[in-house]
C-alpha cells in the first residue's frame, strides 16, 4: 500500500483557503507526510520544523519565503508563546500566505477554555489507518440516518495484527512492529512528557503506561491504579490526562439519560495503538472504538455535526459497548462480539429504553448479515465499511 493520500487531504486543502489549519494527532501517525506530500504538493510551499534551529529562528522572526503560497510549521507548539506568535503572523500575512500547523496534542489543548486564536483556524485530529481508509471507501455520511454499508473489503487481519499507524502497517513485519512500538513509547517519555510537562516521576509514569493495556475495554478504576502505583488519586488522574493529551490512550464516558439509571463517572479505557494488546476480545473492541472515534472526529471537525461517542451502562451492570449520539440524542449503538450471533439482551434492553434508532451487533467471524427485532447482526468487516 502506498501512502499517496489521506482521508483529511481534501478537507485540509479546502479549509486552507478560509483560515489557518491545525492538524494534531499521535506521534508517527502521518501528520508531516499529510502536510508535505498530500497537501503542500498543491502549492508553492515552504516547510519549517522546530527541530531545525535555522528554520526555527527564521520562522520565529517572521522571515518568510516571499514566493511561497503555503507556510508549513511542524512542532511549533513547543514554543511557549506559540499561540500569540502565530496569531500575530497570521493577522499580518493572512492575505498572502496559507498557514498549516502540525504537531502533537498540544495543539488540541487550546480547543478547551479560552482561546486567543478563536475564529482564526480549523482543527483536525489525524487518526491512524482504518478499514474504510485502507480500502479507499469514501464516507457516505447521513447523520441521524442508517449507516450505508458496502461489500467487505480486505485487510482487517493486517489491521488487527500490525495496527493502523502507517509505518508498521505498510511494512507488516513482526520484528519491525516490536521495535517501532518500543521507540514510539520511548519518544513519548523522553521528548513529549519531559519537554512539555512538569512531571518528574517518569519511572512511575512508565509503570502506569505498562499497566494500561491490561485495563482496555473495561471500567477504569483510578483508585485501583493509585493503589498499584502507591501514589494519590489526583496524581494518577493527572497522568491519565497527560497520556490523553499526547494520544497514548483515550477514555469513553457513559451516556447519561433519565430513561436509565446510568452510571455517572466510570469511563472505559482504550489505546491509540491496539497492537499492545494480546487477547482477541479487548483488541477487537479497541479497534472498533478507534474506528468510531475517528468517525465522530471527522463528522465534528469537517462536517460540523455534534457527534459524540459513549458507552451504555446502568446501575445493575447492563452494558453495551458503544453509543454514538447526534446532538446528545442516540443515533446508533454497537455491541462487539468475537463469535456470538445470539442477540445481546443488553442491546435489546437499551434499544427499547432509549429508543435507539439503529443497533448493530458486529461479529468477528463468518456470519450471515441479518436483522432481527430491529437489531442488525453483521460481520465486523462489513460494518466498518460505513465509517471513515
Site of grid cell 457516505? 140
Residue 115 has pLDDT above 70, yes or no: no
Cβ neighbours around 119 below 10 Å, total: 6
What is the pLDDT confidence band of residue 297, given thresholds at 50, 70 and 90?
very high
- Does the pLDDT of residue 105 top 90, yes or no? no
Nearest to 146 by CA among 371, 381, 379: 371
Question: Tell me, what's the pLDDT at 112?
Answer: 47
Q: Is the pLDDT of residue 190 over 90?
A: no
Which tens digit of pLDDT belongs to each residue from 137-188? 988 889 999 999 998 899 999 999 999 999 999 999 999 999 999 999 998 8
Q: Is the predicted pLDDT of residue 110 greater than 50, yes or no?
A: no
Confidence (pLDDT) at 3: 55
CATH 3.40.50.300 domain extents, the chain: 9-125
- Output the pLDDT for position 263: 81
Cβ–Cβ under 8 Å, residues 324 and 308: yes
Residue 123 has pLDDT above 80, yes or no: yes
A 10 A CB-CB count for 132 gives: 21
Mean pLDDT of the chain: 93
Residue 108 sits at φ, ψ, to 5 deg, of -75, -25
pLDDT at 191: 82
Residues 6 or more apart whose Cβ sits within 8 Å of residue 224: none
pLDDT band for position 62 (cuts 50, 70, 90)? very high
- Structure confidence at residue 168 (pLDDT): 98
Torsion of CA 237, 196, 176, 169, to 10 degrees: 80
Residue 4: what pLDDT? 62
As a CATH number, domain 9-125 is 3.40.50.300
Band the pLDDT of 106: cuts 50, 70, 90.
low
- The Cα-based distances of 106 to 26, 102, 337 in angstroms read 11, 10, 35
- pLDDT tens column, 337-373: 999 999 999 999 999 999 999 999 999 998 999 999 9
Q: What is the mean pLDDT of residues 297-315?
A: 97
Amino acid at each position: 500500500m502506498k501512502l499517496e493520500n489521506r482521508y483529511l487531504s481534501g478537507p485540509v486543502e479546502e479549509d486552507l483557503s478560509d483560515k489557518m489549519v491545525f492538524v494534531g494527532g499521535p506521534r508517527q501517525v502521518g501528520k508531516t507526510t499529510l502536510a508535505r506530500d498530500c497537501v503542500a504538493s498543491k502549492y508553492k510551499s515552504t516547510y519549517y520544523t522546530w527541530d531545525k534551529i535555522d528554520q526555527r529562528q527564521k520562522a520565529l522572526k517572521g522571515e518568510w519565503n516571499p514566493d511561497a503560497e503555503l507556510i508549513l510549521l511542524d512542532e511549533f507548539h513547543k514554543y511557549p508563546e506559540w499561540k500569540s506568535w502565530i496569531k500575530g503572523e497570521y493577522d499580518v500575512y493572512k492575505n498572502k500566505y496559507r498557514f498549516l500547523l502540525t504537531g502533537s496534542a498540544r495543539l488540541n489543548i487550546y480547543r478547551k477554555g479560552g482561546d486567543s486564536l478563536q475564529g482564526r483556524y480549523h482543527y483536525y485530529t489525524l487518526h491512524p489507518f482504518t478499514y474504510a481508509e485502507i480500502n479507499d471507501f469514501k464516507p457516505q455520511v447521513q447523520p441521524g440516518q442508517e449507516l450505508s454499508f458496502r461489500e467487505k473489503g480486505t485487510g482487517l487481519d493486517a489491521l488487527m495484527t500490525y495496527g493502523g499507524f502507517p509505518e508498521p502497517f505498510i511494512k507488516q513485519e513482526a520484528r519491525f512492529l516490536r521495535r517501532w512500538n518500543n521507540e514510539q513509547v520511548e519518544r513519548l517519555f523522553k521528548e513529549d512528557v519531559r519537554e512539555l510537562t512538569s512531571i518528574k516521576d517518569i519511572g512511575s509514569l512508565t509503570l502506569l503506561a505498562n499497566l494500561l493495556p491490561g485495563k482496555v475495554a473495561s471500567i477504569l478504576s483510578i483508585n485501583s491504579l493509585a493503589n498499584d502505583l502507591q501514589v494519590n488519586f489526583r496524581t494518577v488522574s493527572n497522568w491519565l490526562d497527560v497520556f490523553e493529551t499526547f494520544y497514548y490512550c483515550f477514555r469513553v464516558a457513559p451516556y447519561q439519560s433519565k430513561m436509565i439509571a446510568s452510571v455517572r463517572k466510570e469511563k472505559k479505557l482504550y489505546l491509540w495503538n491496539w497492537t499492545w494488546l494480546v487477547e482477541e476480545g479487548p483488541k477487537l473492541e479497541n479497534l472498533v472504538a478507534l474506528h468510531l472515534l475517528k468517525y465522530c472526529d471527522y463528522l465534528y471537525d469537517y462536517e460540523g455535526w455534534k457527534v459524540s461517542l459513549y458507552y451504555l451502562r446502568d446501575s445493575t451492570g447492563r452494558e453495551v459497548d458503544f453509543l454514538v449520539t447526534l446532538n446528545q440524542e442516540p443515533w446508533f449503538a454497537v455491541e462487539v462480539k468475537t463469535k456470538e450471533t445470539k442477540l445481546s439482551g443488553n442491546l435489546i434492553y437499551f434499544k427499547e429504553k432509549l429508543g435507539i434508532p439503529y443497533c448493530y451487533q458486529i461479529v468477528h467471524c463468518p456470519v450471515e448479515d441479518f436483522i432481527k427485532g430491529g437489531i442488525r447482526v453483521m460481520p465486523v468487516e462489513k460494518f466498518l465499511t460505513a465509517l471513515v
